[in-house]
Structure 1
Amino acid sequence: MHLLIPYAASHAKACVALLPGLKLPYLQKLSTCLAAQARDFGDEMSWSPPHERALAGAMGLPVTDGQLPWAALEASKRPELAHLQGAWAFVTLCHWRATTHEVTMRQIPMRDLSAAESDTLLAAMRPFFTQDGITLYPFEAGRWLAHGRVFDGLPSASPDRVLGRNLSPWMPTATQASTLIRLVSEMQMLLYTHPINEAREARGALTVNAIWFSGTGALPDNPPNPASAHPVMTPTLREAALQDDWASWASAWHQIDATQVRQMLDAQTRGESVQLTLCGERHAQSWVSQTPTLKQKIRNIFSAPPIQGTLEQL
């Protein structure tokens, strides 16, 4: 059993202020029963957030910042696409907000986009991508798979990195990125007067005014086995953190502690092998099952550091 928790902490001021008041008794106890592994160090400006790096590593994927091949992995699961070799990317419809000083990502993915709207926009955009050697395939409403050589070796920023933030530091900068930057501009012009956006404005919905590339890269020669066990990644902290809803984030942490973490502690007590990975916005820390020595047991009882201090360091 491997539980992976994204956004276990954040350096946002509101989150830091809440950390001392978190009551996580089961997490505190579980952390004293497991052996800490080497920390995965990063920073808040990396292309790939810690939880994506941790998930990729646990799945046996190459962990190269900004080149975690999530799109290629999804394509490999589809019989009609699995034979296509090379690099892939996700193309996600989104909404940018422009001000005098910066452009920020306001919404990604579009939360209320219908399948029909997505299919219509896919049909409108596909010829532009084809001209640049990129083939688009439907994946889900508002997000498509893109196949093309341009994505090979191209770092791209995870949507989790850019939501609510100034996009300037996150735009692709690799040599081949000029093609994609031009495509982004062309799609913005196409979307500006598209009938779907006119209808969305009429009903008070955010318009689709941009696209975002992510999950770029190719699978290794020996890709992970889709049937192998993968970590369980709990989404509730991430959802609250990305909305800057820190009260809900704290409530979600208490719920996770009382349910999933408690279940892991019970499994550890029964002698089962467990692994816990906590991820912040910079670093990730994992703990695995161990058989503690008597000295470790005594130290854990009397000198185990508060788990809140560990969260602050993520």
Structure 2
Amino acid sequence: MTDIILALPFALPPADMAPHLLRALQVPALAALLGRHSRQQRHSFAQHSRVLPHEAWLTRTLDLAPSPITFQTGAPLATACMRGCGLQTQAAEGHWLILQPAHIQVSSTHPSLADPRALQLDEADARALYDAARPYFEELGKPMLFGAPGLWFVRADDWAQLSTASPDSVVNQNLGDWLPEGERARDFRRLQNEIQMLWHQHPVNAAREARGLPAVNSYWCWGGASASASADTAAVGAATLAVSGGPSWLQALAAPELRQATANGLIGRQDNTVTNTVAVVADLIAPGQASEWAEWIAALQHIDQHWCAPLLAALQDGRVGRVNLMLSHRESWLEVSSTKMAQRKFWRQPNLNLLK
């Protein structure tokens, strides 16, 4: 019988906002799973890590990083994402980084990385910018590969020691605190400056700005992984990753048929080789980062209806053996487990107290 892990990044509200948000939430299925649990554990997370808690948790859960790992130099996800893009042969050699087109915005006090989701980068724009930048990388002996419009890869064996941060850990932060660090960091910044100047006058950006879209004025590198130390996602124990929403790198980690997953679709899957399914629903990340709380409430209520409610029903009638929740914010994550037996504890009232 399949166990399902439902990961909800940014489902934990900030402590100062929790009382107000929980009063406004109408999420009866989530309340039942949280209130009638069989196990729960909250974990703190190092504030100086270069990934977010859910990114570190997923990397460990899918066995994509050696253990133990602190994530203070980043998360080694590049080669796993490459395989998800059909680039298995190239991923088998060298050290690769994820390269994501980006928009750097400058305020009165500091530059920051804009949310990559706001780029809305399509295939044509992405290909044009990629084709313009590629010779600059290859002149330095750093081959580039196109995986998806917002997901490129660069082989940089001499950058293997760079410490890099995930884009979502950097969004809305002071960019100066999160730039790559290491022996080759100066070389990295020099190349980045050249590409920024190249793209500044590119016709793609003039056309994007005319359409009211942000210019692609930089890129962000992260997720460095070497072939010899990377794991094959196709052989991660008996775990299967499903994704709903989320950035292109997360989509690449899931099998193509599971990149727009639904709860009912996962519950109905008949696969005796799979005993553990991990479903990441990423709809709360953007509003959680931006503190758009009305949007956050609406998104969580939608998740309750379309994910938590079907999983709760499947748990109660025995179609799912166990539902595990992973709820996170920037500085911590919460793991909660519920079973059919736990849901029979009628003396426990459904509640959201664990979110406080």
Mark yes or no: TM-score above 0.5. yes
Asked if 2 retains the 8 angstrom alpha-carbon contact of 1:105 and 1:164, the reply is yes
Partner of 2:240: 229
| Count of aligned residue pairs for this structure pair | 307
Q: How far has the Cα of 1:44 moved from its partner?
A: 4.8
When residues 90 and 287 of structure 1 are mapped into structure 2, their CA distance, relative to the original with a 3 A threshold, is same
Confirm or deny that 1:129 pairs with 2:137: yes
Percentage identity across paired residues of the two chains: 26
Partner of 1:281: 330
Partner of 2:151: 143
Q: How far has the Cα of 1:269 moved from its partner?
A: 2.1
Q: How does 1:188-227 map to 2 (within 5 A)?
A: 188-218=196-226, 220=229, 222-225=231-234
Q: Deviations over 1:266-293 (max 9, x none)?
A: 2332341222111111111212345869
Partner of 2:11: 8
Asked if 2 retains the 8 angstrom alpha-carbon contact of 1:92 and 1:212, the reply is yes
When residues 61 and 310 of structure 1 are mapped into structure 2, their CA distance, relative to the original with a 3 A threshold, is same
User: What is the TM-score normalised by the length of structure 1?
Assistant: 0.84
Q: How far has the Cα of 1:226 moved from its partner?
A: 5.6
Find the aligned partners of 1:16 and 1:133 in 2 and give their Cα distance. 54
When residues 21 and 221 of structure 1 are mapped into structure 2, their CA distance, relative to the original with a 3 A threshold, is closer
Find the aligned partners of 1:12 and 1:207 in 2 and give their Cα distance. 35
Asked if 2 retains the 8 angstrom alpha-carbon contact of 1:93 and 1:110, the reply is no
When residues 86 and 289 of structure 1 are mapped into structure 2, their CA distance, relative to the original with a 3 A threshold, is farther
Aligned match of 1:71 in 37, 58, 78?
Answer: 78
Find the aligned partners of 2:121 and 2:213 in 1 and give their Cα distance. 9
Q: How far has the Cα of 1:193 moved from its partner?
A: 2.0
Aligned match of 2:310 in 258, 263, 266?
Answer: 263
Partner of 1:49: 52
Q: How does 1:89-108 map to 2 (within 5 A)?
A: 89-108=97-116
**Any gaps of 5 or more consecutive residues in structure 1?**
none
Aligned alpha-carbon RMSD (Å): 2.9
When residues 150 and 12 of structure 1 are mapped into structure 2, their CA distance, relative to the original with a 3 A threshold, is farther
Find the aligned partners of 2:15 and 2:134 in 1 and give their Cα distance. 39
SS of 1:19's equivalent in the other structure is helix
Asked if 2 retains the 8 angstrom alpha-carbon contact of 1:90 and 1:144, the reply is yes
Moved more, 82-91 or 137-146: 82-91
Q: How far has the Cα of 1:55 moved from its partner?
A: 1.5
Partner of 2:127: 119
Q: How far has the Cα of 1:11 moved from its partner?
A: 2.5
Q: How far has the Cα of 1:247 moved from its partner?
A: 0.3
Find the aligned partners of 1:148 and 1:59 in 2 and give their Cα distance. 25
When residues 57 and 150 of structure 1 are mapped into structure 2, their CA distance, relative to the original with a 3 A threshold, is same
Find the aligned partners of 2:302 and 2:211 in 1 and give their Cα distance. 36
